[in-house]
Amino acid sequence: MASQQLQLGVIGLGTMGANLARNAARNKTTVALFNRTTEKTDEFMVAHGSEGKFIPCHSLKDFAKALKKPRPILLMVKAGDAVDIVIQELLPLLEEGDILIDGGNSHFRDTQRREKELAERGIALIGLGVSGGEEGALHGPSMMPGGGASAYKKIEPLLKKMAADDGMEGKCVTHLGPGCAGHFVKMVHNGIEYGLMQLIAECYDLMKNVGHSSNDDLVKIFSEWNAGELQSFLVEITAQIFQKKDPETGDFLIDLIGDVAEQKGTGKWATEAAMDLGVAIPTITAAVDARILSADPLQRKQLSVENPESLPEPYPEQKSIAELCRSALLLSWLAVYGQGFQMLMAASKEYQWNLSLAEITRIWGGGCIIRSSLLAKFRDMFATPQSQREGLKTQILDLARGERQVDWRRLIAIATGSGIPVPALSASLAYADTIRRKRLPQNLIQAQRDCFGAHGYGRTDREGSFHTNWNHQDADGG
């Protein structure tokens, strides 16, 4: 395909599909378009038809004819049954060698199933994670493809043109591995995204309701953070959000937005997959729980009290709440990134994907939602040979030592004393404390399990599995 005119078929002209189609066309690609609602195709052509070479199609038959074999077809439809329906409608029109690219947030197990089914027909499936939102889709997203290597090679020239720059003279796209590896990596990316966003929200809550920061104050705080160690896409847009005013009322828009956070499922899937792999991702799980708890405002209203049982003046501090939040946010972000990487390493081993964390962190360096200067530290470490990593690893760990860690603990104590929930900040600290604790109290849990279920336990002083009759009368010889 590299020596031929680039081509791409796009099915689904929602915001992401439309912007990816425009992105491809701007990169000198002939783009065939189809949307189930034909009016949307017509509207797209009126708005963007002059941006490149588009072939609007009102039927799948015409759509298939508009592309030369082998056909690369990007599916941008809602994850779930809709993807299966479109594939089934397309199948009679496809031929051996055609390539379907699922660019939605499909569950990785669905992608695994579809790839096997399509392979029996000689059709390749690339599960393509895409991050960057609507602006990223148009100007350059981070792309996470998984599937057959030969099929990926055929579409690589186009994806490299469409992807964001990685800041190191490369592009934010790479073949991650076979099967559903791409959609799994995107799921983990989204889980990390959930965690980072919840951590920011908790700091906002504390700065507003304990530190009494105004929206103007928050603009300044987040802008300063974005100029330092917390430089990131999410901190940058958060500063922008606090500036925005409602054109009708003149009030700050943030204060008029409802507090029910929606979700599309990828965070929940990450938590489920982590449990299947035996990996703890408590910050991400706490973020998912926080969205679930937010979904019932009526119950919260009924249970709310004017003056919650909290300390009247909790833990007076010399440092401002904003200063404490900066430390806590930085260390919590390190924790949530670490949880995501542990999950990726476990999945790579379990599914034999041979994932490269160096490549994953590189393609997350531009275009995607979780890009940050902290992530770049992990990228540099993973890109360094194993024998030379200790120095860089120490630099990352040094961020979590000293006064910052004290600030982290103080902030959570203040939040607890003020009756303000900080589930993700608390989970991050508990995670950090747990993985650094020499001895945990799970020895008692093992004793309890053996006491009521004869499950056995290990000992610290000898090898093997042991069982005890815990009845105190027997133990006393009674």
Q: What is the mean pLDDT of the chain?
A: 92
Q: Tokens 């029109």 map to which residue? A: 93
Q: What is the DSSP string of 217-277?
A: HHHHHHHHHHTTTT-BHHHHHHHHHTT-B-TTT-SBGGGGS-S-----SHHHHHHHHHHHH
pLDDT at 152 exceeding the cut of 80: yes
Peptide bond into 441 cis (omega under 30): no
Q: How far is the C-alpha of 412 from the C-alpha of 395, rounded, in Å?
A: 25
Active site residue 89: no
pLDDT at 451 exceeding the cut of 90: yes
Angle of CA points 446, 341, 139, to nearest 5° = 150
Catalytic residue among 115, 156, 171, 193: 193
Residue 415, token pair as written in the block: 């939040």
pLDDT of residue 1: 41
pLDDT of residue 19: 97
Digit-coded pLDDT (tens) for 31-42: 999 999 999 999
Q: How far is the C-alpha of 36 from the C-alpha of 39, rounded, in Å?
A: 9
| Lowest-pLDDT choice from 1-5, 105-109, 387-391 | 1-5
**Long-range pairs of 306-313 with CB within 8 A, sequence gap ≥ 24:** 308/419, 309/419, 310/417, 310/418, 310/419, 311/417, 311/418
Catalytic residue among 115, 156, 171, 186: 186
| Lowest-pLDDT choice from 40-44, 388-392, 416-420 | 388-392
Bigger pLDDT: 99 vs 318: 99
* Mean pLDDT within 200-229: 97
Active site residue 393: no
* Mean pLDDT within 85-101: 96
Q: What per-residue string of b and e applies to 396-412 under the rule 16 or more CB within 10 Å gives b? A: beebbeeebbebbebbb
Q: Per-residue confidence at 263, pLDDT binned at 50, 70, 90?
A: confident
Contact (CB, 8 A) for 111 and 85: no
Question: What pTM was estimated for this model as a whole?
Answer: 0.93
Q: How far is the C-alpha of 446 from the C-alpha of 133, rounded, in Å?
A: 46
